[in-house]
Amino acid sequence: MAGKNVVIVTDQNFESEILKSDKPALVDFTATWCGPCKQISPMIEEIANETVGVIKVAKLDIDDAPNTAVKLGIRGVPTIVAFKGGKEVARHVGAGTNKAKLRALVG
């Protein structure tokens, strides 16, 4: 479950919410069955709460939005991808990270 400042993205709204966003975006590619995804979820929520209006923070469940995951080459979860101006600018795979490193992905 995502917090109030985390946008849920799907195959249908990924382009409008992330690629066409006027703000940098940080997308957490996740799955409900993924233990490591649950470990980093609080960090994603904190980043969303700390960067309201500055960075768009989103979650995409790869089981619910498989087309977007395939198109972006997401091969494992959690994968955190940063976007600016509709382009991927950074990517982190796995739960071995901290909030500062995830926040730094968007610059």
Upper half-sphere CA count for residue 42 (Cβ side, 13 Å) = 3
- On whether the CB atoms of residues 30 and 78 are closer than 8 A, the answer is yes
Residue 34 among the catalytic residues? yes
pTM above 0.85, yes or no: yes
Q: 34, 55, 72, 80: which is the annotated catalytic residue?
A: 34
Q: Tell me: pLDDT of 1 over 80.
A: no
Residue 37 among the catalytic residues? yes
The residue among 90, 76, 81 whose CA lies nearest residue 35 is 76
pLDDT in tens, 43-94: 999 999 999 999 999 999 999 999 999 999 999 999 999 999 999 999 999 9
What are the residue ranges spanned by the domains of the chain? Answer: 6-104
Helices (H), 4-84: 14, 35-50, 66-71
Q: 26, 37, 60, 65: which is the annotated catalytic residue?
A: 37
Choices 3.40.30.10, 3.40.50.2300, 3.40.50.1980, 3.90.1580.10: CATH for 6-104: 3.40.30.10
Upper half-sphere CA count for residue 83 (Cβ side, 13 Å) = 23
pLDDT value of position 34? 97
Average pLDDT, the chain: 96
